[in-house]
Amino acid sequence: MATRFAWVLNLDADVELARLLALVSYVPTRAMLDATRTHAARLVGSLVSPDDLLVDEATPAGAARGLVGRAFCPTPRALALLVHAGATPEPHPPLSVLRAVNSRAFAASLGATLPGASFARTLEEALSHIAAPPRLGDGWRMKRAFGMAGRGQRIAAAAPSEADVAFLVAGLAEGGVQLEPNVLILEEYAVHGMLATDCSAALGEIVRQRCDARGAWLATERVRFPSSLGEVPTLLAAEARAVATALAGAGYFGPFGVDAFTYRDADGAAALQPRSEINARYSMGFAVGFAVSSRAP
């Protein structure tokens, strides 16, 4: 008989992690809660079984008693909601690890995979980096250390405006800013996996992702004929295995995903960015790409 879970679908986990890094408590706004519920509903029947119990602030105390608690990302708020509902949270990494590996600083520490990309920790470093136009793309894309659904990003020119500098200052207060060329994206992909406590990793199939102009997720689809993508599946699987090794070395275990995309290089040819993001948590497309049932921890 399949395990029935109590789920907290805290799709705003990255916002909470950013606030915690800045030592600011996180209470989601009504608008954030409404948006989260709307998107979370799309996970029922894929990541979440229809028999599972969804837990949020409105769930009565003890309503999930006897159930195993699972979170989209096991942040302090998610764990508190599960405990209040009476569920027993499944094993999860400590907050310090969760925060470290979900920061873009962690992905940057594995080496830049897009020409000209860098992670800045000081304003002087950031301004110096974007002082010259990138070798490709139409400007610099600045990304805060934590972000999801296209949030926390801004495009800047070589001569940053006051608003650009304010964005950098705010991002640096949250741990740093990723700076990379704003390239023309052709196709977006992802590989998802599950990292066990013994450091073994199981990978799912490569999937194609569709996002809007801001980078917000729209849909994830299986690639029916991976061989049609040439060496891309092999390269992305190798990158996902390297990420799994790095995550395990940092003390992380649980679900993860590696986003990637193809883009136009300086000569106009298609090139691969094999690691645009690391998500050390579940993601909207996880159940599509991960061949092993998400019922397993």
How far apart are alpha carbons 269 and 264 in whole angstroms? Answer: 5
> Is 97 inside any structural domain?
no
pLDDT for residue 293:
42
Shared domain for 127 and 171, answered yes or no, is yes
pLDDT for residue 151:
81
Shared domain for 188 and 158, answered yes or no, is no
> Is 163 inside any structural domain?
yes
Shared domain for 166 and 211, answered yes or no, is no
Domain that holds residue 175: 115-181
The total number of structural domains in the chain stands at 3
Q: The CATH number of the domain where 175 resides is what?
A: 3.30.1490.20
Which of the listed residues 60, 92, 124 is the one where a domain comes to its end? 92
pLDDT for residue 39:
84
> Is 83 inside any structural domain?
yes
From first to last of the 297 residues of the chain, give the pLDDT tens digit.
678 999 999 999 999 999 887 666 788 888 888 888 888 888 988 899 999 999 999 999 999 999 999 999 999 999 999 999 999 999 999 999 999 999 999 999 999 999 999 999 999 999 999 998 888 988 999 999 998 777 889 999 778 899 999 999 999 998 999 999 999 999 999 999 999 999 999 999 999 999 887 778 888 999 989 999 999 999 999 999 999 999 999 999 999 999 999 999 988 899 999 999 999 999 999 999 885 444 444
Q: Which two tokens stand for residue 104?
A: 């873009």
pLDDT for residue 148:
79
Shared domain for 157 and 250, answered yes or no, is no
pLDDT for residue 121:
97
Instruction: Report how far apart the first and last C-alpha atoms of the chain are (Å, whole number).
Output: 15
Shared domain for 172 and 207, answered yes or no, is no
pLDDT for residue 23:
60
Say whether 250 sits in a helix, a strand or coil.
coil
Q: Which two tokens stand for residue 265?
A: 């290089």
Which of the listed residues 150, 181, 212 is the one where a domain comes to its end? 181
Find the helix or strand (DSSP H, E) in which 69 lies.
strand 68-71
pLDDT for residue 291:
57
> Is 294 inside any structural domain?
no
Shared domain for 244 and 192, answered yes or no, is yes
Shared domain for 231 and 284, answered yes or no, is yes
Which of the listed residues 139, 154, 181 is the one where a domain comes to its end? 181
> Is 21 inside any structural domain?
yes
Residue 110 corresponds to which amino acid? L
> Is 123 inside any structural domain?
yes
User: Which region, left, alpha or beta, applies to residue 18 given φ > 0 means left and ψ of -120 to 50 means alpha?
Assistant: alpha
> Is 100 inside any structural domain?
no
Q: What is the pTM of this model?
A: 0.92
DSSP 100-114: HHHSHHHHHHT---S
How far apart are alpha carbons 269 and 47 in whole angstroms? Answer: 36
Q: The CATH number of the domain where 260 resides is what?
A: 3.30.470.20
> Is 238 inside any structural domain?
yes
pLDDT for residue 47:
93
> Does residue 158 contact residue 220 with C-beta atoms inside 8 Å?
no
Q: In degrees rounded to 5, what are phi and psi of residue 195?
A: -105, 120
Say whether 242 sits in a helix, a strand or coil.
helix
